[in-house]
Amino acid sequence: MFRTASLLLLAALAIAQDHPTGPRITPPTLTNVNPRGVARGATTEITVEGLNLAKASAVYFSEPGIKARILRVKELPDLPDIRLGSNGTPSTIDVGPLPPRNQVTIELDIAPDAPIGPVRLRLLTPLGTSPEGSFVIEPYYGESADAEPNNSADQAVEAFLPAVLTGAITRPGDVDFFKFRARAGEQIVFLNQAAMAGSALQPVIRLLDASMNVLAEYGYDGGNGKDAFSHTFLTPGTYYLRVTDFESSGRPTNTYRIMAGKFPVVSNAFPLGLKQGAETTIALNGFEVPTTLTAKGTASIAGESVLELRPANAANTLRLALGRDPELLSTGANLTATTAQPVTLPITLNGRIAAAKGALPTHNYFRFAARKSQQVIVEVHARRLGSPLDSLVEVLDAQGNPIEQAVARATWETFLVLRDHDSTTRGLRIQSWNSLATGDYVMVGNEIVRVDEVPDGPDEDMTVESFNGQRKAF
């Protein structure tokens, strides 16, 4: 007994000595890149802030056509040393002093033919390579910057198009107005690239005429329409663009950079993907872009399952999914169970759910064979690839009756309150949450979601798990 105890003690001491002691070394970290947009064909300076960036010696970019030179690195004052533990209270664990906070000033030389769009950068330091920061390359337009107060049409910032409308929704309920002129029959394209440069804003953008009549509105449906859209102005005159946050929140990271003018932009494509190694024709919708392009199923820098293309020098890129399974297009005639399109698993199906304005949307039916106890996984990837589709999938038997997938037994009940909730937002305001915990499943209408965060008080939402701004259903 004593011998065994002594051996265990020695083993514990040896393990303890193998671990390093003293303060942890924080790897280089990027917290801010400013400005978020630079013009191509220009030489400009940007500043990168972060932790442990001293002696940064090189800059790496994800896109071609950029040359960089580090001008200086300086140390910034320390932030308040307030470290919270897992329970939200100040931590009592001593992990040493905060790492130094640095600012790196970089001179950028952007080639005139550099591709417009997001650029990812990393800094090389003696402690390793930093995580990614980002900014966007834009045409050589002038900037029309948000100047507070501009919360009404009377205070709107005047922009002379083409221009880049820049600003931030920094206070809850903040609204920014810009005004511009348009000719009769003129089509103006708007492209917001801030999200690609790290913005947390979920913008709602409204176009208004001089009488404050709403001409168009983008962003309330949670889709990608707010990122790229165009409008044809029927009469000459002064018009207004209004920007606010969908959640009515305010923070410094709620930034926007809206290019306004005439330039090629792709808004959507079909099909949304292709098989790896295959070649297919993609139909395009957008502004001043070709109607089709030929895509080859070769992975891009974005990942082995993603293909990024830039059609005809468009100001934005197109993301397509790359799959390993065979791809099949919906015939369009499979609108009932009796006319279901036969398929063989595994398969990736590409289709459109469309309807005339005011009519009910159509359904697409597919017929497949499965063995008893065979597990079949059905996933819809349209939303994460930019489609506005709010999908509903049902599995039916041979007679067209729904197959029971699970039995949900309610153990507790509450109510949605305060406002109407859409089918995308991850925040849900509920009456009570005394029986809820993170990870619980909740049935909201006919949708089962999983709790990501329980409210801390009556003025907070319950948040559920989501992907790319769309809450996940189970």
Give tens-digit pLDDT for 124-133. 999 999 999 9
Contact call for residues 98 and 79 (beta carbons, < 8 A): yes
pLDDT of residue 358: 63
The 10 Å CB-count burial string (b at 16+, else e) for 181-197 is ebeeeeebbbbbbbbbb
Number of domains in the chain: 5
β-partners of residue 238 are 181
Instruction: Establish if 297 belongs to a structural domain.
Output: yes
One domain for residues 147 and 257 = yes
* pLDDT-wise least confident of 84-93, 243-252, 363-372: 84-93
pLDDT of residue 126: 94
Q: What is the pTM of this model?
A: 0.69
Instruction: Establish if 268 belongs to a structural domain.
Output: no
One domain for residues 229 and 283 = no
pLDDT of residue 393: 87
One domain for residues 338 and 393 = yes
* 362, 386, 403 - which closes a domain: 403
Instruction: Please state the rounded mean pLDDT for residues 342-353.
Output: 92
The H or E element containing residue 18 is helix 2-18
pLDDT of residue 11: 33
pLDDT of 162 above 90? yes
CA distance 430 to 462: 7
- Tell me: cis bond preceding 35? Omega within 30 of 0 counts: yes
pLDDT of 158 above 60? yes
One domain for residues 300 and 332 = no
Instruction: Establish if 20 belongs to a structural domain.
Output: no
Instruction: Establish if 316 belongs to a structural domain.
Output: yes
Instruction: Establish if 392 belongs to a structural domain.
Output: yes
**Token pair for 315:** 């100001």
pLDDT of 19 above 80? no
Domain encompassing residue 175: 142-263
* 90, 113, 137 - which closes a domain: 137
pLDDT of 9 above 50? no
pLDDT of 23 above 60? no
pLDDT of 328 above 50? yes
pLDDT of 143 above 80? yes
Give tens-digit pLDDT for 255-295. 899 999 998 888 889 999 999 999 999 999 888 888 999 99
β-partners of residue 319 are 308
Kindly indicate the confidence band of residue 15, based on its pLDDT and cuts at 50, 70 and 90.
very low
Instruction: Establish if 103 belongs to a structural domain.
Output: yes
pLDDT of residue 207: 95
CA distance 384 to 381: 6
One domain for residues 228 and 317 = no
Instruction: Establish if 233 belongs to a structural domain.
Output: yes
Collapse the DSSP code of 25 into the 3-class scheme (helix H, G, I; strand E, B; otherwise coil) and give the result: coil
One domain for residues 259 and 153 = yes
**Neighbour order of strands in the sheet with 265-270:** 265-270, 279-287, 292-296
One domain for residues 238 and 164 = yes
pLDDT of residue 74: 94
One domain for residues 104 and 202 = no
pLDDT of residue 361: 64
CA distance 27 to 209: 51
Kindly indicate the confidence band of residue 68, based on its pLDDT and cuts at 50, 70 and 90.
very high
**Average pLDDT score, the chain:** 84
Give tens-digit pLDDT for 375-407. 888 888 887 787 878 788 889 988 888 887 777
Strand 37-39 and strand 186-192: the pairing is unpaired
* pLDDT-wise least confident of 4-8, 136-140, 296-300, 315-319: 4-8
pLDDT of residue 5: 33
Instruction: Please state the rounded mean pLDDT for residues 339-346.
Output: 93
CATH number for the domain that contains residue 259: 2.60.120.380
pLDDT of residue 86: 56
One domain for residues 149 and 230 = yes
CATH number for the domain that contains residue 78: 2.60.40.10
One domain for residues 438 and 346 = no
Instruction: Establish if 14 belongs to a structural domain.
Output: no
pLDDT of residue 238: 96
Instruction: Please state the rounded mean pLDDT for residues 356-366.
Output: 75
One domain for residues 173 and 211 = yes
Determine how many CB atoms are found less than 10 A away from the CB of residue 106. Answer: 20
pLDDT of residue 466: 82
* 137, 157, 179 - which closes a domain: 137
One domain for residues 426 and 468 = yes
* pLDDT-wise least confident of 69-83, 95-109, 300-314, 434-448: 300-314
* pLDDT greater at residue 96 or residue 413: 413
